[in-house]
Each structure stands twice: as structure tokens, then as C-alpha cells.
Amino acid sequence: MANEKFNLDEGLLKAVAICISEGVGIDFIDAIKQLNTYTKNSSPSLIWDLINSNLKKRLGDDYTCIYKKLRGIWEFLLIVDKKSKKVITVMRENRLRNIIKHPSKNKKHYSAALALLNESLKPKQGKLVNIPLNRDDDFLQELSQELCAEIEQNMLEESLYCILSFKSSSGVMTAFSANYLTKNLEISEVISLNEYIPKKNYDAIVADTEKSEDIQDIPLTLKPAAYIKKQAKEEAEAKQSIEIKPTQNENPTENATNGDE
């Protein structure tokens, strides 16, 4: 990472990537097999419980602190990196993009409150007119203080808030990045962390799991790069298959009789 201000501890990045990769992959497959439920309504929440449990187990207290927070019925982890002095949360990339795209609809989201820590950051691209949003600043200030109450004040004064976002598909982690937002939920800096995605042999993982109808909907057979390549090929073939080639009307009288136009 070129800019020292945005540096994160490499050990933390590797650990978080492993926690996510295992949570959406092999841990999820094993959990679904053990539960053996007839429906899978809890799957999205179950994945987050697995990721958060992995983070709690894997991240050591030597360079991080983990706090469990509650927002409504949702539990999430607040991670404090002691070395790089960052306050960190983990989030799916599509959820992050939705919050940025519709900040007024998500003004009370915890990320909006924590983004107040990034008051000094500017948007990645300047605007001709920067109109402040109605963000309920008093509420967000109170929420920020509540969420950060357990963090030592001297560290908090020097901290930035970072969202480690990821994408996954069919049990494979396909993208990983560090995102720094301004206090108005605009992108200030995005740093690709794809190099930290574990390069596991997913074929071997699947070979160690029982093949059953219960897990056919969550195949785990390709490495991330191979999966993305396969997905692009399938999409191209599907697009080609629906193209209609014009044909000459050899017998217009017969077609008209059959009702063709």
C-alpha cells in the first residue's frame, strides 16, 4: 500500500481473509450438513455467525481487540487494530455499495456513525457543489460514542474507520478490499486486497465432503480465479444462445395461413 495513512497490519489482513473464506465455504457446508434442515432460511445469517466466530478465534489479542456490538437484532464485530490504529468492520461489498448509493436511507446504519472518525478524509473525486446531507448528526454522534465506548480514547483520537469488504459466489471468496469513507459516506480510498484471498485447492475440499442433495446448491469446486473465468464463459454462451438469426421467408403464403407475422 503506497499511502502510509491507509496501511493495515498484514497479519490482520491475512487472518480476516482466511476467516471469511472459510466462513462462506467449508464451514458453511459443514454447518448445513450437520443441521440438516428442510429449509435454509437462516443461511445468510448463519454465514455471518461463522465468519464472526472465526474472527474471534483467529485474531489474537496481541495486536487486535474485538468487541461484539448489537444494532437492533443484528450482532456484528468491531475490530481495533492496535498496530495500525484502525477501527474495522467486515461487510459484503454489495451491502457497502447500497449504503453509499442511498446514504439518506441508511443514515442510522452503524457504518455512518463510525465514518465520523474519518472527518479529515476527503472524497476520492472532488465535487463542484458539496451539499451536506440531513444525517441526524446528533444521533450519529451518540451512536458513534456508544459503539466506541470501550476503545481507549488516546487510540481513538488517531484512528481511522476502515471497512473490509468482500464478494463471494457459490462458496468461493472472489474479491477483498479495504474501504475508507468520508463522514458523508463518500468513497475516499479503496485498496484492493485480492492478494490476501487464500489460494486453496477447493477441489480437495469438496472431495472431503459428502456428496448429498443438501449441498448441491452450494458447489465448491473451483479456485476463485477459475470460478470467475468459468462464470464469464457461461454468461457468454448463454448470451449467444438467445440471439435470433434472421431467416428468409421462403413461403409467405403458407406462413400467413399458419398465423405467422
- The verdict on residue 22 lying in a domain is yes
- Residue type at 84 in one-letter notation: S
In total, the chain counts a number of residues equal to 261
Write out pLDDT tens, residues 151-193. Answer: 888 788 889 999 999 999 888 999 999 999 999 899 999 999 9
Number of domains in the chain: 1
Per DSSP, the residues of 68-117 read EEEETTEEEEEEEETTTTEEEEEEEHHHHHHHHH-TTTTTTSHHHHHGGG
Burial class (CB in 10 A: 0-12, 13-18, 19+), 243: exposed
Element (H, E) at 176: strand 172-181
With cell 464463459, the residue in question is 233
DSSP-derived secondary structure letter, 169: E
Q: What is the pLDDT of residue 225?
A: 64
Say which residue, 168 or 225, is predicted with more confidence: 168
Highest mean pLDDT among 6-10, 47-51, 105-109 belongs to 47-51
237 found inside a domain: no
Does residue 94 lie within any of the structural domains? yes
Q: Is the dihedral of CA 77, 82, 83, 86 positive or negative?
A: positive
Percentage with pLDDT > 70 across the chain: 70
| pLDDT (0 to 100) of residue 214 | 38
At 161 the pLDDT is 96
- Model confidence pLDDT, tens digit, residues 22-77: 999 999 989 988 988 888 888 889 999 999 999 999 998 778 999 999 888 889 99
- Please indicate, yes or no, if residue 59 is contained in any of the structural domains: yes
* 36 lies in some domain: yes
In a domain, 198, yes or no: yes
DSSP state of 123: -
Within-domain flag for 32: yes
The span from the CA of 5 to the CA of 12, in Å, is 16
Residue 258 maps to a domain? no
For residue 87, what are the domain limits? 4-224
